[in-house]
Amino acid sequence: MLHSRTGAACLAALLLCTAASCDPEDDGSTAWATAYDATEVGWLLSTWGPAPDDLYTVGGSPTSGVIMHFDGSEWSPVETGLDVPLLNWVWGFGPDDVTIVGNQGTVIHWDGSTWELQDTPTDQTLWGVWGAAPDDLWAVGGEGRMEGQATILRYDGSAWTSVALPPLMRMRVYALFKVWGTSSDHVFIVGQRGALLHWDGSALEEVLIGTTDDLISIWGTGPDRIAVAGGRGNGVVATWDGVEWRAENLAPLPGLNGVWMRTPDVVHVVGVEGTIAIVDFDTLDYEEQYQDTRLTFHNVFGDQAGNLTAVGGSLSFPMGPYQGIAYRRHLGTAE
């Protein structure tokens, strides 16, 4: 059943189906289909790639990280030769420059021929990574349990160093979940209890956006078109239009983990209980898409060919089994 927060007319229904009956690679359909059987792969937490035939999905279990790679025809595991824990996020600048972060302060880098474990000044979980250039990356994290755990790192092309958390009006911000920006002097970090930080090229500053819900992920199409997704009990979406932030609880939509945008007016979000939805950037009306899983989606990402990938798994079962899910579909023209 499709839902709209205002009861406005819904967008065209997008049916979620299995790969056997609806393969987006074959017929150009905008219906969701299973990308591959990830049941035994482990949790899948993030997807990114420089090209439609060069995509990475990362995850695993708490003690063993996993990387899957898509070459345009099939997904296969990547052998890094490294012993790493759960991998949480991936970002890069091309086929020979990919950075992945994970638990225990883990950062690994692909230079086109070798996977390398990079030194970091933390053992906190790193939840997100983003960069404006190969010599200007940010990574954020924190276990989220006590003072001093919220973590910000920065990479200058040779080493990762710690960045001090500025004084916050928000109380008990012990974890930062994602970082994203549009340039080296326009970077946003989101985290616990509605925390949002902005880097203007010289200083980090707290921004109050009207919510105390956890903010999990951030994406946009430009400096005046940015969306944030989060919430634990119910989904929360916040948007920046270049003038002001607007945040709304989208109950009864469940909590959200992932957000991605290709066009300025459409926000793609995913979350718990198999939630996949499209949110109107300006009105924050949403359309929940049909699904055939109750597992948690953690991330959604679109490639240059207009293929949308949503990944997740049995994240509500921290002791296992570590089951993954991966779905794909083609984007419609206006999405």
> In this structure, is residue 234 part of a structural domain?
no
Total domain count, the chain: 1
Residue 170 lies inside a defined structural domain of this protein: no
In a domain, 135, yes or no: yes
CATH code of 61's domain: 2.130.10.10
Quick one: pLDDT band at residue 17, thresholds 50, 70, 90? very low
Query: Is residue 19 in some structural domain?
Result: no
Task: Let me know if residue 316 belongs to a domain.
Answer: yes
Residue 245, domain member (yes or no): no
Residue 9 lies in a domain: no
pTM confidence score: 0.91
Q: Is residue 121 part of a domain?
A: yes
**C-alpha to C-alpha distances, 215 to 180, 236, 289, nearest whole angstrom:** 13, 8, 22
Burial letters for 146-171: b for 16+ Cβ neighbours within 10 Å, e otherwise?
A: eeebbbbbbbeeeebeebebeeeeee
Are 314 and 323 in contact, with CB atoms under 8 Å apart? yes
pLDDT at 218 over 60: yes
Query: Tens of pLDDT along 66-104?
Result: 999 999 999 999 999 999 999 999 999 999 999 999 999
Containing structural domain, residue 144? 38-163+292-330
Confidence of residue 182 (pLDDT cuts 50, 70, 90): very high
Are 311 and 32 in contact by the 8 Å Cβ rule? The answer is no
Q: Determine how many CB atoms are found less than 10 A away from the CB of residue 207.
A: 14
pLDDT tens string 279-319: 999 999 999 987 789 999 999 999 999 999 999 999 999 99
Is 137 within 8 Å of 129 (Cβ atoms)? yes
**CA–CA dist 251, 265 (Å, integer):** 21
CA distances from 63 to 43, 83, 85, 267 (A): 12, 9, 4, 33
One-letter amino acid identity for 158?
S
pLDDT digit string (tens) for 153-173? Answer: 999 999 999 999 999 999 999
